[in-house]
Amino acid sequence: MNEPNNNAKVAWVTGASQGIGAAVAWRLAADGWTVAASARSAEKLEALSDEAEGLPGSIIAFELDVTDPEASAQVFADIESRLGPVDLAILNAGTHQPIDGAEFAVEPVRKLVEVNLMGTVHCLAPVIDAFVAREAGRIVVVASLAGYRGLPTSSGYGASKAGLINMCEALRPELAARNVRMFCITPGFVKTPLTDKNPFPMPFLIDAETAAARIVRGVDGRGFEITFPRRFAYIMKCLRILPYALYFALIRRTVPRRD
């Protein structure tokens, strides 16, 4: 069992059982942080915690399904009572499911919104409450470049991520006035178990360790958005400012063919 160092700074990473979250937890522990790692898969979290033994910091597992608001608040309270005040909250838990627009249905959209948007909100509320009271802390929300504009097959995922970007933009100046810093992460394609399911080629794909290094470096800076890989982010930023006629003329070529 990995034991916390009482002098280390404390981070909370949600969705830390695999992919970007696991890589961020690892990166932080390698830098000496005590990391509360949460997700639904307790076994994967325990394995990560065991593997991290020997690093300067530690990873401690906290099982959590972020779709449960009471459990999210309780886990945050448990982390603070066991490890001490959280300095850095990285709200990363999320999922993806492509939706064929011609077969649009309620349930897949509900799931994406409940995990990606409301799951983040369930963790954000107790974190903001504590950080504002202490007038300290950094909050990091993992959104996506897919939240910049509507993309084919992304009506549910993109909506959930666009909601997060907008929410972070709204909160950033309000929380800055209380000495709490808000960051928004907008990744392009990162190789993880989530994207391993994608049947299409993913441009500028990077690995989770590179993404984690960018995130951990970024939250030491004063910028709002941490986006990568850079070339893909530039393309998406250009698409974001195109007028609709031009945007739809370009993007309709990416609509999957229906046989």
Ligand X SMILES: NC(=O)c1ccc[n+]([C@@H]2O[C@H](COP(=O)([O-])OP(=O)(O)OC[C@H]3O[C@@H](n4cnc5c(N)ncnc54)[C@H](OP(=O)(O)O)[C@@H]3O)[C@@H](O)[C@H]2O)c1
Residues with active-site annotation: 157
Q: How far is 46 from 62, CA to CA, in rounded Å?
A: 9
Q: Smaller CB distance to ligand X: residue 173 or 203?
A: 203
Which residues, other chains included, contact 206 with Cβ-Cβ below 8 Å and sequence gap of 6+?
Answer: 188, 189, 190, 191, 228, 229
Q: How far is the CB of 57 from ligand X (least distance, A)?
A: 19
Q: How many angstroms separate the Cα of 259 from the Cα of each of 13, 97, 256?
A: 42, 21, 10
Q: How far is the CB of 188 from ligand X (least distance, A)?
A: 6
Q: How far is the CB of 93 from ligand X (least distance, A)?
A: 4
Q: How far is the CB of 33 from ligand X (least distance, A)?
A: 18
Q: Smaller CB distance to ligand X: residue 15 or 137?
A: 15
Q: Smaller CB distance to ligand X: residue 37 or 128?
A: 37
Q: Rg of the chain over CA atoms, in angstroms?
A: 18
* Interface residue list for ligand X (CB under 6 A): 15-21, 39-41, 44, 64-67, 92-96, 115, 119, 142, 144, 187, 189-190, 192-195
Q: Smaller CB distance to ligand X: residue 56 or 237?
A: 237
Residue 106's φ and ψ, nearest 5 degrees, are -70, -50
Q: Smaller CB distance to ligand X: residue 115 or 226?
A: 115
Q: How far is 202 from 232, CA to CA, in rounded Å?
A: 10
Q: How many angstroms separate the Cα of 30 from the Cα of each of 1, 24, 26, 54?
A: 17, 10, 6, 9
Looking at residue 202, the DSSP 8-state letter turns out to be -
Q: How far is the CB of 23 from ligand X (least distance, A)?
A: 8
Q: How far is 30 from 36, CA to CA, in rounded Å?
A: 14
Residue 109's CB: how many other CB atoms inside 10 A?
A: 17
